[in-house]
Amino acid sequence: MNEERYILFDQYLLGEMTVEERNSFEKEISENLEFAAEFRTFKEIQVQLENKFGHEQERKAFKENLSNIANKHFNKEKPKVVLMRPWYYAAAASVAILFGLFFFDYNQNPSFNDYNYPGQAHFTERSNTNVNLIQAEKAFNDRKFKEAIPFFEAVLKSNKTSEIQYYYGVSLVQTGQYKKAEGVFNELKSGNSVYKDKSLWNLALLKLKQKDYNGCKEILETISQDYEGYDEVQELLDALD
């Protein structure tokens, strides 16, 4: 369950974002197809919630139950988001509950978002004279992946390093350009750089994002146990079994 996203969705629908936050949210919807699809699903579920619990007393009782569930859930581990009101946590918990109520979806397959950590770019070959690389790094670290892509492409025309290729590939994944991303990571996995296993991991995540669970597992099984992130590889393998 991606609690942070559900909290953002709820804030947006309740009109509790600043103008800047709202603009940023709407930009993400227009550029990130997966994000937009999750938001549509969230809105549909909220409508069903209103229909199912049309009376104020019923809604109040239901929200209180959700708050209790949310508190139990979030007390188990340190929340990723702080300074949020309890109802936001309840909203996050409600999504999982409502999927069970309305769609009876008991599929326990892992989700791409559970493993989607793009990281931060700090280029070793960065120089004050390479404006495109500076802009690419800034846009990437600000999570403006669509803006980062043309800067990466400009740099790669004259400086095609494995490091720059890798972060270019990650940006493509984040913007839903799967074919291009696959081409980048397939090229990197064929080399001997430190990005070989990282590229295999991202190829596995691409399969996971497209719900090709068998393809994901096959790629994961080719990743070396010396890979720095092998604990996550094993975790995802276990989740796929």
User: Which CATH number does the domain housing residue 222 bear?
Assistant: 1.25.40.10
Residues 57-94 have pLDDT tens digits of 555 555 555 555 555 554 544 444 444 444 444 555 55
Is the residue at 196 inside a domain? yes
Asked if 101 and 197 sit in the same domain, the reply is no
Q: Quick one: 89 and 129 in the same domain?
A: no
Torsion of CA 67, 105, 34, 197, to 10 degrees: 100
In a domain, 113, yes or no: no
pTM reported for the whole predicted model: 0.57
The answer to whether residues 217 and 137 belong to one domain is: yes
Do residues 61 and 122 both lie within one domain? no
Which phi and psi angles does 171 have, rounded to 5°? -60, -40
For residues 102 and 18, the model is more confident at: 18
Reading phi first (left if > 0) and then psi (alpha if -120 to 50, else beta), residue 227 is in: beta
Q: What is the pLDDT of residue 101?
A: 46
| DSSP reduced 3-state for 181 | helix
Q: What is the pLDDT of residue 186?
A: 95
Domain assignment present for 111: no
CA distances from 187 to 150, 193, 197 (A): 19, 11, 12
For the ranges 15-29, 34-48, 215-229, the lowest mean pLDDT is seen at: 34-48
Mean pLDDT over residues 17-28, rounded? 88
The answer to whether residue 168 sits within a structural domain is yes
Total count of domains within the chain? 2
Residues 185 and 128 occupy one common structural domain: yes
Kindly give the interhelix angle for 162-174 and 131-141, rounded to the nearest 10 degrees.
Answer: 40
Q: Which domain holds residue 84?
A: 3-106
Summarize pLDDT for 102-152 with one digit per residue, the tens: 444 445 688 888 888 888 988 866 556 688 999 999 999 999 999 999 999
* Domain shared by 34 and 99, yes or no: yes
Quick one: 60 and 171 in the same domain?
no
The residue out of 46, 81, 106 marking a domain boundary is 106
In terms of domains, do 128 and 92 share one? no
What pLDDT, on the 0 to 100 scale, is given for residue 83? 43
User: What percentage of the chain reaches a pLDDT higher than 90?
Assistant: 39
Let me know whether 209 and 126 are in one domain.
Answer: yes
Residue 50 included in any domain: yes
Residue 112 is assigned to a structural domain of this protein:
no
User: Alpha helix (H) ranges present in the chain?
Assistant: 3-13, 19-31, 33-52, 56-75, 86-98, 131-141, 145-156, 162-174, 178-189, 196-209, 213-220, 230-240
* Same-domain status, 98 and 144: no
| Domain-ending residue, one of 106, 137, 161 | 106
Residues 130 and 88 in one domain: no
Closest by CA to 70, choosing from 10, 110, 118, is 10
Residue 186 · residue 209 · CB < 8 Å: no
Which of 76, 106, 136 is a domain's end point?
Answer: 106
Conformational region of residue 77, where left means phi above 0, alpha means psi within -120 to 50, and beta covers everything else? beta
User: Is 22 domain-assigned?
Assistant: yes
Is the residue at 123 inside a domain? Answer: yes
